[in-house]
Amino acid sequence: MHSIGEMARDSGLSVSALRFYDRGGVLVPAWVDPVSGYRWYGPEQLEEARLLARLRRAAMPLADIRLVLAGWSGADTDLVRTLLQAHLRRLEAGLSDARDEFSTLRALLDSREKPMTSPRTAVVRLSVPAPELADALDAVRFAAGRDPELPMLAGVLFDIEGETLDVVATDRYRMAVARAATGGHADMRVQVVVPSPLVDAMRALLSGEEPVRLAVDGDRVTLESGDGQTTGRCLDHEFPDYRRLVQAPDGRRVLVDAGSFREAVETGPVVASDVSGPGETAADLTLLKVAGDGTVAIGDDRWSDQNQIAVNREYLLHALAAGARDELTLEIGAPTAPIAIRRPDDEHTFSMLMPVRLED
C-alpha cells in the first residue's frame, strides 16, 4: 500500500489534488483509516494516478477523465482512444479559435496603441515627507514582480497627481497600494516605474524626519535627502492601469489583531497547492472564511464549507507585515474574489491577494 505522501511523490499529483480527486470520486483510496482518516492506495492505483496527472496537464475535463480511468482499468482501449481523440480535437479547435482572437486583439492594439502615462518630457520636482515615503515603500515593496517575462512589473509605480504620490507594486498574484503627500507639484498626472534596486536605494536614504526631494527628468528619477542622493533610469515599460484592478467586489470586513492573526497563520494548518502549469511552483495555502460569529477562521481542506478562500500563506504573511498596524481589516468575499488587507486608519494603503483554486 502507498501512503498519500508516497502517492503524491510518485505520481506527480499533490497531496491536496489527491484529496480533491478522492472527494470527487475520481481516484478513491483503497483504504481509509477509520480513526485517523489517513488515505492508503493500492499498488495498481499508482498507474491510474500517473495517468490522471497526465490527463489533467492536458486539460481534460473531470467528467471525461472518469470515463478514461474506467476504460483503462477495464482494458477498454477503444473507449480510451475515442475519448483521447475527441479531447485532442477540442484542444485543436480551441487553439485555432484562440489564435483568431489574439490576431484580432493585436490588430486592435495596433490601432489604438498609446501610452497610459504622460510623456516624460518636462522636469517634475516635488518634496515628500521622508517618513511618509518610507512607510509607503515598505507597504508595497513585497509585491513587486520578479518574472523576467513581465519586465513592466519588476519595480514600483510612482503615480504623481496633484498633491499626492501613490506607489503601487504587483506581481499579478498580489497588489499593494500606498500614498504619500507631496508639495511643489500640481500639474498633469505623471507616472514612472522605478526598478526595484533603485527603490531599495531610495528606501535606504529615508531615515530622517525632514522632507526629501524627488525629481523626474525624462526617463530618470532622482531622490535627494540629507543623507545623500540616488538616481537611475526608470523602466521603459507601461504599468497596468491599477485603478481598475483594485475595484474588487465588496466582501465582509473583519477587524483582526494583526499580531494574533499572524501567529495563527504561521502556526495553523496549511494545504499544499497543486502545480498546474509550466513555471508554477507549489506553495502552502491558508484557508480562510468568515465564521458565524464574525471572526476569521483558519482551517484545512477537510472543511465542507464551500465559502472558504485559499491564499498563499507566504504572501498573506508578507501583506500582514506590510500592513504595519496593531489592527488590520480583512475583506473576504467569494472564493474567487481577491482578499484585501487594509489599514483601518488609512483608506489609501492596502494590499490584495488573488485566491488559489485547490482543485487545480
Q: Cβ distance 15 to 272 under 8 Å?
A: yes
Please state whether beta strands 211-217 and 155-161 pair in parallel, antiparallel, or not at all (unpaired): unpaired
pLDDT (tens place) for every residue of the chain, 360 residues total: 899 989 998 998 888 888 888 888 888 999 998 888 889 999 989 999 999 999 988 989 888 898 998 888 877 888 889 999 999 999 998 888 888 888 888 878 777 655 444 445 568 899 999 999 999 999 999 999 998 888 889 999 999 988 899 999 999 999 999 999 998 866 678 899 999 999 999 999 999 899 999 999 988 999 999 889 999 999 988 888 888 887 766 778 999 999 999 999 999 888 877 544 434 556 788 889 888 788 888 876 555 566 788 899 999 999 999 999 999 999 988 878 889 999 999 999 999 999 887 654
**279 in the Ramachandran plot: left (φ > 0), alpha (ψ -120 to 50) or beta?**
left
Q: What are the boundaries of each domain within the chain?
A: 2-89, 123-243, 248-353
Count the neighbouring beta carbons within 10 Å of the beta carbon of residue 146: 9
Alpha helices in the chain (DSSP H): 4-11, 15-23, 45-57, 62-73, 77-112, 130-140, 196-204, 242-245, 258-267, 313-323
DSSP state of 153: G
- Beta partners for residue 284, in sequence order: 272
Dump pLDDT digits (tens) for 315-351. 999 999 999 999 999 998 887 888 999 999 999 999 9
Task: Give the whole-angstrom CA distance, residue 137 versus residue 202.
Answer: 9
Angle at 232 between CA 230 and CA 236, to 5 degrees: 155
User: Residue 168 to residues 28, 101, 198, 211, 319: CA-CA distances in angstroms?
Assistant: 46, 31, 15, 21, 14
Q: What residue type is assigned to position 44 of the chain? A: E
DSSP state of 335: T
Angle at 65 between CA 60 and CA 71, to 5 degrees: 135
Task: Give the whole-angstrom CA distance, residue 321 versus residue 97.
Answer: 44
Task: Give the whole-angstrom CA distance, residue 39 versus residue 49.
Answer: 14
Which architecture, in CATH terms, is 123-243? Answer: Roll (3.10)
Which architecture, in CATH terms, is 2-89? Answer: Orthogonal Bundle (1.10)
pLDDT at 276: 45
Q: Cβ distance 27 to 18 under 8 Å?
A: yes
pLDDT at 302: 54
CA 253 to chain centre: 20
**Taking the chain, what is the end-to-end CA distance rounded to the nearest angstrom?**
26
In this prediction the pTM is 0.73
Q: Cβ distance 351 to 341 under 8 Å?
A: yes
CATH class of 248-353: alpha beta
- Among 23, 168, 106, 225, which Cα is nearest to 15's? 23
CATH topology agreement for domains 123-243 and 248-353: yes
* Residues 322-340 as b or e (16 or more Cβ within 10 Å = b): bbebeebbbbbbebebbbb
Task: Give the whole-angstrom CA distance, residue 337 versus residue 250.
Answer: 9
- Among 340, 358, 336, which Cα is nearest to 296's? 340
